[in-house]
Amino acid sequence: MNIPKTWLVLLALLLAGMAITPVVSAEEKIDLNKIETPSFQFDDSQKNTVITGPLSTQPMKDVYTIPEGSIIYHSDDGITRIFDSNGKQILIASDESAEKVSTPNGLQPATHVHAVPQGARILDSPLDESKTYILTEDGDLILTVIDDSSKIESSVVRASTISGSRWLAWADATVSQISYLRSRWYTPTPPSTSGGTPGFALAIFNGLENSATIMQPVLQWNYGLNNPVWKISSWRYTSPSNYYYSPMLSVTQGDQIEGTLQYTTVGGVTGWQVTTSDLTAGTSTYYFSNAIPSNTNLEIVNTLEQAQGLNSNPYHMCGDITFNNVNIPSVTLNSGSISASGWSGLFNVWFTPNPTQVTLDTP
């Protein structure tokens, strides 16, 4: 067969391009031990900056944008400083004066809440427990968080003990080993607005947790108390300080939501990929993190949480939620519901059967 000369020229150019263009993939190994942090140039003369939204290196709605390569340093005096990649101080901020933003664990100072890009790798340093590196999905370092604000060991705080938030109904169990958790549920009817914007927010999620970290694919409602719509995002909280979340996507009542947590290895690091999907719309939002480094002795949860606002009416909550646990170990889930005065007995948990179908019954 005779091949036209023009084809041969094009083929040669293509092969040459392949030879000189490096392929960067999420499977390239990243040695976290070799990431160097510059010496900081502290500047106490800078005027205090009020942080008005979650910190992010990516321009997006409702965040406080900082340069790529920034280093966030939380000190034990309630001060947050941000340095550039060379160690020069960009700004100084008080955690107390920062705007309080919604999370699945209630209102938190914006200085400790971080919006990450799609597919981000949120990686804790194996050498220094105070350091967390944020990499893009392709492995580029875009943010470092150093938290010296608390050296006290602390377990994940149940929302029922956090001011302004509480778990309303849930099912949970500790499993000896798990590598994949997948739950599906439908976006329920929204809470009653009672003629105005209600003063509370909701979080519906499945998830995994150990003594320090919870990872959650979340369906959330009315975050910020000024936007009564349903959205999805994947969250990570490591006690006692920092929150990370993937891009928020709008969803519609009746859309089928899927939350998955998969134990896997990315770039030579073992951890969990946490994904929240709208199966009806064909969209998803996710991150990867090694904050829970193993797949043993973890707690699995299906939860309805009031994430913000205590002055609410239990009869104004959303409609019932049924979790279909498509992939779940053969365990018996334990049911739980809020016991606060005026709320006790109004929320129930039904299994049909346990653990593959969990219905959180609202009044």
Share of the chain above pLDDT 70, in %: 86
**347-358, pLDDT tens digit by residue?**
999 999 999 999
Amino acid, single-letter form, for residue 315 = Y
Query: By percentage, how much of the chain surpasses pLDDT 90?
Result: 68
Question: Does the domain at residues 159-361 carry the CATH identifier 1.10.10.60?
Answer: no
pLDDT in tens, 40-77: 999 999 999 999 999 999 998 889 999 999 999 999 99
**What are the residue boundaries of the structural domains of the chain, listed by start?**
32-147, 159-361
What's the rounded mean pLDDT across residues 162-170?
A: 73
pLDDT for position 28: 65
* Angle of CA points 26, 28, 29, to nearest 5°: 120
Outline where 250-354 has alpha helix (H).
Answer: none
Model pLDDT, residue 150: 60
Quick: pLDDT tens for 142-153.
Answer: 999 999 876 544
- Name the maximum alpha-carbon separation found in the chain: 86
Query: Measuring CA to CA, which residue among 349, 348, 333, 337 is closest to residue 299?
Result: 333
Identify the bridge partners of residue 300 per DSSP, sorted by sequence position.
Answer: 173, 208
